[in-house]
A and B are shown apart, each in its own frame.
Chain A
Amino acid sequence: MPGKLKVKIVAGRHLPVMDRASDLTDAFVEVKFGNTTFKTDVYHKSLNPQWNSEWFKFEVDDEDLQDEPLQITVLDHDTYSANDAIGKVYIDIDPLLYSEAATVISGWFPIYDTIHGIRGEINVVVKVDLFNDLNRFRQSSCGVKFFCTTSIPKCYRAVIIHGFVEELVVNEDPEYQWIDRIRTPRASNEARQRLISLMSGELQRKIGLKVLEMRGNAVVGYLQCFDLEGESGLVVRAIGTACTLDKLSSTAAFLPACNSPSKEMKEIPFNEDPNPNTHSSGPSTPLKNQTYSFSPSKSYSRQSSSSDTDLSLTPKTGMGSGSAGKEGGPFKALLRQQTQSALEQREFPFFTLTAFPPGFLVHVGGVVSARSVKLLDRIHNPDEPETRDAWWAEIRQEIKSHAKALGCHAVVGYSESTSICEEVCILSASGTAAVLNPRFLQDGTVEGCLEQRQEENLPPGCGFCHIPYDELNMPFPAHLTYCYSCRKQKVPDVLFTTIDLPTDATVVGKGCLIQARLCRLKKKAQAEANATAISNLLPFMEYEVHTQLMNKLKLKGMNALFGLRIQITVGENMLMGLASATGVYLTALPTPGGIQIAGKTPNDGSYEQHISHMQKKINDTIAKNKELYEINPPEIPEEIIGSPIPEPRQRSRLLRSQSESSDEVIELDLSHGKKDAFVLEIDDTDAMEDVHSLLTDVPPPSGFYSCNTEIMPGINNWTSEIQMFTSVRVSRLSNINLTNQTLNKNFNDLCENLLKSLYFKLRSMIPCCLCHVNFTVSLPEDELIQITVTAVAITFDKHQAVQTTKTHVEKSLQRASADNEELLQFPLELCTDSLASHPFSPAKEHLESASSNSGIPAAQRATSIDYSSFADRCNSWIELIKLKAQTIRRGSIKTTVSVEKASPLTEGHFRQRSAPACANSTVGVVKMTPLSFIPGAKITKYLGIINMFFIRETTSLREEGGVSGFLHAFIAEVFAMVRAHVAALGGNAVVSYIMKQCVFMENPNKNQAQCLINVSGDAVIFVRESELEIISAQQPIASCQPACSGGEIAT
């Protein structure tokens, strides 16, 4: 009996009138946990009942504490008929299960009904007495902290970053069970809400167990998602990064197990599940027995490990000629080897983090992604290994091999997503291939002179740009130059990544949100034919999206993308692609070239004129953008630029956007003939469209900036004025003669108009930046496109802009010119150095293995599961190249673009901002933000994860103000419930907030609508910096502060 849960029902207020005769209500409350239910007395004739109940005590296993939500139902007592339910409150008691988080949950909770929405509030107090029995940790994983934040939470220090944890749980969807035909919509919704709550709890517990096995004490970057697979079931899956965290203020770690960095940990590959999780022991509820989970089965992991060896690139330190180079090649090699060994034990060396401790990220290879189209089928036997779990494992394997092909042993900024339409499901995974510093991956033993040296030698803020792969055997075509910052290492011309901009990256000017939008019609089809059609379309979409991104990046005069997210959405008769990223100009990379337009029929005079007109327009736009985003990189003297790179630089500069790299590769060049990659041919209708869409993107109005990363490069003087919002639009296509072209235009307009509306709505916040702009697209019906945007608008102080970048640039410039002579003298040595430091030869064999790899699982599938056999998939761009080369005439694809070392642009910059005018924080205000920080404030405590799922349904849509009225009210209610839970935990903000799902269905003819929303975030307590100064003035020691400042963001 490791825990006692105590609940007290204090009072209610603003209850609805349940008795028309008296205009009053006779309310009482049922408190349920597991299978035990308590009831309060009936409080007669009041809309503001004061129950003041005794403490209801539940004696339960901590396992149940983790899985089960506390369920509070408010009812109206009726003497003659059945009691009417007023509404419910589900309280996740998980935050009470670890000592550092909340100790009590106490406050007013909205009483929620799935049909009526919020109906009054109830005041509840919840406490948990845990009997700390360490042995029990086998079954439960109480004590493991969860964070949605995708960086090391402020006020913690990462002792070890262990790596990837994943789990999924499936069940039948109550909405599709036979019983749903006879029960009320309310009962069905509640069954669903309860089930998902239960499954989330179970999932979290299981992930926690894996973390404990890895000797970790926390999960960072925890991302949990639901797949509503309809008839075939309900999947709840989660990924995260296991870490051992140390609280900064107190040196004593709270988990003794983690305090002694155990060596064995390295020996334990985390997948070798010592947890005989065959069944949960103890008095489990009947419901639990219906919930099946699949942990990677032994057989599977064997399979994967075998393929692992096929692909693995054994580090050959000696390779690449012995010349050590002056940068301490042997050290590097050793470092790499260590990292390699640390990571190779992991089945998937993935990290869901997007920002990292300084020094963690060494190099970035580029974006790796994989997609797979599957046919959903009812899960007949959930214990079979060939299930959703296997599907994901397959994709992850692919991601891993892609990363290896890029000379990288790890993937950071990793995420997974699905898109489901009827029985077809697209699984997607993407991340950024990277080389990591082993220091954080193991316990502290490696720490020492090695890293120190390494760091000393690294030039500031450009190391992550240096290519990790072998220059002579590049896995994809790339145009390399010497780093514009340090002049020592090779860098690609363009970098694409899924992570945030590293803190120490030097950037010129400001960044901006860049989106690529694309629609492709497809024929309606059934099952396999449908899946095949989708599979065939995917490579083209990926390619188009990539080309658009590249074009838009050039149009902005920038050379790198951060936070790249590509979403492919499947509908009945179309596919939608939406890529969002934040473009920046990295000083380490070369200046991007322009875009050149060429006509096919050059003899026609008027045609020529048209083309030159277009060309001029494009050139003007580039010039304007450079001005707008303040992109004026320092002029580097030509002799410095004159790097000893053998490529015909001039040619590329003259004929094409010089940054386009791919056509240098022979393989592609051959297939392209003599055509130029970045020359857009106007005769091509698609290209015409491209050019057009390039020019229709309107820059935000003056005073506005936008990005989809945590913070905007080039802006660092935030005020404390923030506004988080969600905006939803559903647009109906006029369906008659839909072509790809009109569809694209419609989609583009929809996105642009939505952005325009946001700028208008938030105009009072100017100067302002929309941060973490997150678009999601869904296709709820044939002719409907739904776009959901969540972001936070932050006002910044125009007059206090701190020009840190400039000095950085100058510094690096000086350094560059200083190093230059040296550089010119020893070009050869440098080359070999880079070889030595990149002892992989990812080369062609890997490309092949990557593609052949895709063939093997296909065969396996054929034998294993009925439907998935045909299922084809679209790999990352690596695979695409070949396809492209044959099928597409213009443009080149760059499989991967690299980046690295993201960590929120923090400390230094922020510290310099003056303290903002501190708004009088009124009691009860709860801030919400998708960012991991609150401007102008310091997070002092993490109270636990918020993970909530709600369903709302109506049968009186018109009366509730139509679809807009219905959804507006629902989203406002969801915000309210999140805030109430945070406040009850004692918090005043939720950070890393995300609306993971917003599934909206309507049937206006029946006057009905239904919506499902899933949100999550981290509940925190923050203290305004101005208040903090007072405190620290009083306590001048404040030893934790300098340490904290590393991650802290202030206004």
Chain B
Amino acid sequence: MTNELDIFVGNTTLIDEDVYRLWLDGYSVSDAVGLRVRSGILEQTGATAGVLQSDTMDHYRTFHMLERLLHTPPKLLHQLVFQIPPSRQALLIERYYAFDEAFVREVLGKKLSKGTKKDLDDISTKTGVTLKSCRRQFDNFKRVFKVVEEMRGSLAGNIQQHFLLSDRLARDYAAVVFFANNRFETGKKKLQYLTFGDLAFCAELMIQNWTPGAVDSQVDDMDVDLDKEFLQDLKELKVLVADKDLLDLHKSLVCTALRGKLSVFPEMEANFKFIEPCRSDRWPLNDVRLFLNQYSASVHSLDGFRHQALWDRYMVTLRSCLLRMYHD
């Protein structure tokens, strides 16, 4: 005797968080049943494997029906078919849009195209995230990207409004969208040590300061693209490096100010230009901070340099990013 049909429908939709997790993680029903058995649930509840199978199937079916609505979370709130308490709705959405660190680091900065989607197999193998889950996460990125791509207003705000995510998750998605749009290569070897958190932090600062939205909150794509004018203007700053006099002056100003305060002063003097070397020389974080502060501040004392505002817009963000990225 086999059950051809086996369903349970509650007036309030039953959501089992553990099963939801397994579903999101891309396990098949039988795998999920196996994992649940191993969790000791049968012993706790005195249920049989058959009961567990039926229960898991039922939850999976519910999630499958909910998935269509989760693609546009406001629909989940307004739909009438599934009666779900608001706190549960939020949980469903938040978990559905959550992503794995390992996965996002693989995809961040890549074009969210079919090409990338084809690589999900490899990513799945590499990261140990199931292919199903990879697809969901990739599709989430792509869906959010498509919706907010052309929108006015704050990027994170738009995401939050259209996908009802928590503040934190919305900002993460903003970073994902920002990187994807600007194709910042984050997969390079020397950037491998950076966490998604680091990159999201930088993205947020760049969105705040370097996009058209930072200047004018009414323009299209204000948060998504970098401000082209700003990028153009940055060329002006090259004078700080290109002009030997200016460079020397800047250098002496910084050196004077920091003499005695830095434990790694000699190296700084020698390397005066970029931060990566600092890491290999194992500067303490505090020294880096002091250096960067002085480095940006002393420009104001350069008489021959006229782009003070531009410099600040560039350097304030850069300094914070560099500091965040300065770790092992």
Contacts and interface: CB of A to CB of B under 8 A. Distances in A.
Contact of B55 (A760, A922, A965, A971): A760
Contact of B4 (A726, A732, A961): A732
B5 A964 contact: yes
A853 interface: no
Interface string B80-95: 1111011000000000
A14 B10 contact: no
A675 B91 CA distance: 65
B11 interface: yes
Kindly name the residue among B78, B80, B81 whose own CB sees the greatest number of chain A CB atoms within 10 A: B80
Contacts of B125: none
A980 B78 CA distance: 12
Nearest to B9: A971
Interface string A717-732: 0000001111111111
Contact of B7 (A118, A749, A967): A967
A734 interface: yes
Interface string A730-759: 111110000000000010011001001111
B46 interface: yes
B79 interface: yes
Chain B interface size, under 10 / 10 to 19 / 20 to 34 / 35 or more: 35 or more
A922 B45 contact: no
B65 A975 contact: no
B237 interface: no
Nearest to B64: A961
A723 B55 CA distance: 17
Contact of B9 (A726, A961, A963): A726
A108 interface: yes
A756 B48 contact: yes
Contacts of A726: 8-9
Contacts of A378: none
Contacts of B50: 753
A753 B3 CA distance: 11
B273 interface: no
Contacts of B2: 731-732, 734
Contacts of A733: 1
A121 B80 contact: yes
A729 B1 CA distance: 12
Interface stretch (A30-38, A537-545, A637-645, A923-931): A923-931
B309 interface: no
A922 B81 contact: no
Nearest to B54: A757
Contacts of A964: 5-7, 57, 61
Contact of A723 (B3, B10, B79): B10
Given A701-B45, A922-B85, A964-B6, A749 B78 contact: no
Interface string B1-45: 111111111111110000000000000000000000000000001
Contacts of B61: 961, 964-965, 968
A186 interface: no
Given A761-B14, A971-B9, A730 B4 contact: yes
A784 interface: yes
Given A110-B80, A922-B86, A964-B61, A731 B3 contact: yes
Contacts of A121: 78, 80
A723 B86 CA distance: 16
A961 B54 CA distance: 15
A871 interface: no
Nearest to A922: B86
Interface in A214-269: none
Contacts of B9: 725-727, 968, 971-972, 975
A723 B45 contact: no
Given A724-B10, A753-B50, A757-B54, A979 B80 contact: yes
Contacts of A786: 5
A784 B4 contact: yes
Interface range, A side: 35 or more
Interface string A692-726: 00000000010000000000000000000001111
B78 A963 contact: no
A928 B82 CA distance: 13
Interface string A970-1006: 0111011001100000000000000000001010000
B5 A730 contact: yes
A39 interface: no
Interface string A952-970: 0000000001011101110
Nearest to B44: A763
A522 interface: no
B7 to A, nearest CB: 4
A404 to B, nearest CB: 43
A725 B82 contact: no
B146 interface: no
Given A121-B80, A753-B50, A727 B7 contact: yes
A121 B79 CA distance: 8
B51 interface: yes
Contact of A925 (B3, B51, B83): B83
A14 B86 CA distance: 20
Given A118-B80, A926-B83, A972-B81, A760 B4 contact: no
B47 interface: yes
A728 B75 CA distance: 28
Contact of A729 (B6, B75, B80): B6
A582 B198 CA distance: 63
B1 to A, nearest CB: 5
- The residue in A927, A972, A976, A980 that gathers the most chain B C-beta atoms within 10 A of its C-beta is A972
Given A14-B79, A701-B46, A969-B65, A963 B11 contact: no
A760 B11 contact: no
Given A728-B5, A972-B9, A756 B47 contact: yes
A723 B12 contact: yes
A973 B9 CA distance: 10
B9 to A, nearest CB: 4
A521 to B, nearest CB: 15
B27 to A, nearest CB: 18
Interface in B48-86: 48, 50-52, 54-55, 57-58, 61-62, 64-65, 75, 78-83, 85-86
A57 interface: no
A861 interface: no
Contacts of A753: 48, 50-51
A492 B14 CA distance: 45
B111 to A, nearest CB: 24
Contacts of B54: 757
A759 B62 CA distance: 19
Given A14-B75, A757-B51, A763-B45, A729 B5 contact: yes
A975 B6 contact: no
A971 B11 contact: no
B7 A971 contact: yes
A288 interface: no
A224 B83 CA distance: 27
Given A922-B85, A973-B81, A731 B7 contact: no
Contacts of B64: 961, 965
Given A121-B78, A757-B54, 13 more contacts: A13-B78, A701-B46, A729-B3, A729-B7, A730-B6, A731-B3, A749-B1, A757-B55, A760-B51, A763-B45, A784-B4, A963-B4, A968-B58
Interface of A: 13-14, 108, 110, 118, 121, 701, 723-734, 746, 749-750, 753, 756-761, 763, 784, 786, 922, 925-928, 961, 963-965, 967-969, 971-973, 975-976, 979-980, 1000, 1002
29 contacts: A121-B78, A701-B46, A724-B10, A724-B11, A725-B11, A727-B7, A729-B3, A729-B7, A730-B5, A734-B2, A746-B1, A749-B1, A757-B54, A757-B55, A760-B45, A760-B52, A761-B8, A761-B55, A761-B58, A763-B45, A964-B7, A965-B65, A968-B9, A972-B9, A972-B82, A975-B11, A975-B81, A976-B82, A1002-B4
Closest 9 CB pairs of A and B: A730-B5, A725-B10, A968-B7, A724-B11, A971-B9, A928-B11, A976-B80, A963-B5, A976-B81
